[in-house]
Structure 1
């Protein structure tokens, strides 16, 4: 009994210590966010029910612009697609940029939520498709607005310039590239820091995750047209079968990562699409492949691309394809660079988060092979330290149940992905606000 009492006292003292280390500004943020939460959840549901595809975020961008204008930001709209920027000058001090993304995915929502999306949109090839916020950008935007509200409410506690960027078209990799081609860093005060978050589909709501250095991979979308010589399915000896050649190429590509790349270097080659032929008994002239290539190192990226070219050409020649009909290989522009978190900035924010939430709720996670064009905010001529961190978004009970049963939780980009709104949004606003206040030098 005494041991239990001592343990409880120790836990209470630790909790009290964390509470005492929070600054007056952070305490004010938490109180303000608790009062604001009903309106934030209403906004979240509105965004969730009305998702828009990449480059089509007109209504979403309007909501973000109106929120920032109401708070006193100077707003620049349609800066590279539907992206917008809010600028709030609050005396002399650092310039901190906070970024959110706005676009959704062409998926039919199957969560069964009462506020599930029933929206539809037109995709890149002109097809009418269902649309869903399956990557949590609705969470990102709600936290973004909550943070803007909290920082304006506590503006007596900090000095500097706050830049809020609501970016369109992250999912297809165009958004950040368009922003910088439109001159983002020439249009706004140069940031001293750029920060962002991304919800996490395996981390409990109420926690944040981080990794200094390599955070997310570079992504290339590659297209290959495999040429052959079509003919009757009953006379394959008179053809050069591009279907068989494509199969040989796909298997050969798998050995690039397993046998040519240093095992200590992360790399992934995925063939996500194969299209060739139209009926059972005709060997087609061509087959089209679509691949994604992922890595962290520019050298590994180039090694993968060179190996794909080499294997494709050699296998085609071996199959009897003429030199002028070798596979055509292209890579979509723009490529998404790897997201490399600034180590010093990340370590600084980890201390802020540990003070805010307790060390047990700040988790170091391994780098991920997914891509994020937030990387471009740190790769311009004007070098800016960047940090993206993970925001836990899953009901802790579901995480525990999944671990006990040995089953996987719905991932990001899943039609059944369900964030837990309240702790996720509140934690996100507290984390992003605490990060910004620290960078502004607030005490």
Structure 2
């Protein structure tokens, strides 16, 4: 009788397991996320405004990093600070399952904000030997608020997912060196190598939109400095000098033939001279002229063609003036970001099924975006990932700019002022749904 009772209980347990409620679907998850956002949004808005008003340059983000670290500690994450300089790593373990990395950037830009917002930044700092204003004009303040909000949402829903959250706050993204600095400091050895990685960036598109790009997403980037070396002298006697400004002027024009005559016309490539520094007054020919360049490409062969072409053109410009060979110095750079094909398709489908935002899947055959991002360092280290793009301006704002015939201020503009309220909410939904997608037991 006892054996029969046990057998009956076992049978009932088996039937109960078969009849257990399935995991909530994407739409139910979205509803739960939105409910959590409503509870926490006032504090997230205050955090956003605080970060916006107090930006810090890459590798100087001491206050910002401490602020985020304190928030994560208060939620129960195990937090390690000063990883790769000012980086933060926050770990939360919730049983056996995959390790999922979610990243935000910490740094602002060396520029003056001109938005006129009541909480606009007036911060200043020393950068490259000069005093400069600092502004969150790329949207990293939106990312940080969404990062905290995503952690809050996931912890509120922890009964339905299993695995380890690895939330990282990365320094110096604008300088394209923070990701490498964290990796060099043992990010994937001191902690864990993630099974998946997710990040999102706000842009100048319409709020409530999410772009999921398959394949190449952002460009290779290389920053170079070229120093032309001449022989200075009086402006009235140029024949007694070797004029480095003339060399630089030849170079500025001639280097564009690398794009127009050496690069395949169907391949993306850009050579931009963003700084030309030489001389002090009009009647003195200086000794040197210094140019700073930004190179962008998608393909590794085009990347090398641009690097080689810039060096070759610089040397030819100097040779025409019978000057010494110029110094061509590579400053920093990063590879293109590639979204994992299977993960991108899956994420787009999950987000579309959740509703609430307009999701566009962009196939790998379409070109990526010309901006660059050192998230590629994590991808190159072997982490399958998706890097999302979310809209930053509401429809009314976009319509107003269009009516005036004006371009919408984009990232890095001193007037970049996204509708942070809606963008933060979309960021939280996007990142939380992505993490749930890979951590919810099937």
Partner of 2:315: 313
| 1:345 corresponds to 2:348 | no
Match of 2:84 among 80, 86, 90: 80
Partner of 2:7: none
CA distance in 1, matches of 2:226, 2:91: 44
After the TM superposition, which of the residue ranges 143-152 and 22-31 deviates more from structure 2?
A: 22-31
CA distance in 2, matches of 1:148, 1:359: 20
Structure 1 pair 25/398, CA: closer, same or farther in 2 (3 Å)?
A: closer
Tell me the CA shift for residue 267 of structure 1: 0.8
Tell me the CA shift for residue 151 of structure 1: 0.2
CA distance in 2, matches of 1:440, 1:403: 42
| 1:376 corresponds to 2:377 | yes
Partner of 1:38: 42
CA distance in 2, matches of 1:277, 1:359: 53
Partner of 1:182: 185
Match of 1:214 among 210, 213, 216: 216
Tell me the CA shift for residue 404 of structure 1: 4.4
Match of 2:118 among 110, 114, 117: 114
CA distance in 1, matches of 2:377, 2:409: 28
Give unpaired runs (5+ residues) of structure 1: 1-19
Structure 1 pair 360/76, CA: closer, same or farther in 2 (3 Å)?
A: closer
CA distance in 2, matches of 1:122, 1:240: 34
Tell me the CA shift for residue 179 of structure 1: 0.3
Partner of 2:161: 158
SS of 2:203 mapped into structure 1: strand
Tell me the CA shift for residue 91 of structure 1: 0.8
Partner of 2:14: none
Partner of 2:435: 436
CA distance in 2, matches of 1:351, 1:406: 36
Q: How many residue pairs were aligned?
A: 416
SS of 1:128 mapped into structure 2: strand
Partner of 2:8: none
Partner of 2:246: 244
SS of 1:369 mapped into structure 2: coil
After the TM superposition, which of the residue ranges 213-222 and 26-35 deviates more from structure 2?
A: 26-35
Structure 1 pair 204/442, CA: closer, same or farther in 2 (3 Å)?
A: farther
Structure 1 pair 395/260, CA: closer, same or farther in 2 (3 Å)?
A: same
CA distance in 2, matches of 1:295, 1:410: 24
CA distance in 1, matches of 2:415, 2:83: 33
Indicate the RMSD between aligned Cα atoms, in angstroms: 1.7
Residue deviations 1:99-145, cap 9 Å, x none? 000111122221111111122222232x3322111011110000000
Partner of 2:287: 285
| 1:170 corresponds to 2:173 | yes
TM-score by length of 2: 0.90
CA distance in 2, matches of 1:118, 1:102: 17
SS of 1:317 mapped into structure 2: helix
Residue deviations 1:208-256, cap 9 Å, x none? 1221111111111101111122222222223222111111111011111
Summarize the alignment of residues 119-134 of structure 1 with structure 2, pairs less than 5 Å apart. 119-125=123-129, 127-134=130-137
Match of 1:94 among 95, 98, 118: 98
Structure 1 pair 366/306, CA: closer, same or farther in 2 (3 Å)?
A: closer
Partner of 2:198: 195
Higher Cα Rg, which structure: 2
Tell me the CA shift for residue 442 of structure 1: 5.2
| 1:392 corresponds to 2:399 | no
The question of whether the paired residues in 2 share the 8 Å contact of 1:97 and 1:164 is answered with yes
Tell me the CA shift for residue 401 of structure 1: 3.0
SS of 1:164 mapped into structure 2: strand
After the TM superposition, which of the residue ranges 42-51 and 226-235 deviates more from structure 2?
A: 226-235
The question of whether the paired residues in 2 share the 8 Å contact of 1:356 and 1:431 is answered with no
The question of whether the paired residues in 1 share the 8 Å contact of 2:210 and 2:358 is answered with no
Tell me the CA shift for residue 359 of structure 1: 7.6
SS of 1:332 mapped into structure 2: strand
Partner of 2:62: 58
The question of whether the paired residues in 1 share the 8 Å contact of 2:348 and 2:361 is answered with no
CA distance in 2, matches of 1:96, 1:22: 18
The question of whether the paired residues in 2 share the 8 Å contact of 1:207 and 1:363 is answered with no
The question of whether the paired residues in 2 share the 8 Å contact of 1:313 and 1:326 is answered with yes
The question of whether the paired residues in 2 share the 8 Å contact of 1:94 and 1:440 is answered with yes
Partner of 2:10: none
Partner of 1:8: none
The question of whether the paired residues in 2 share the 8 Å contact of 1:211 and 1:366 is answered with no
CA distance in 2, matches of 1:180, 1:191: 12
Residue deviations 1:297-337, cap 9 Å, x none? 2211111111122222223222222xxx211101014x211
Partner of 1:302: 304
Partner of 1:135: 138
Tell me the CA shift for residue 21 of structure 1: 5.5
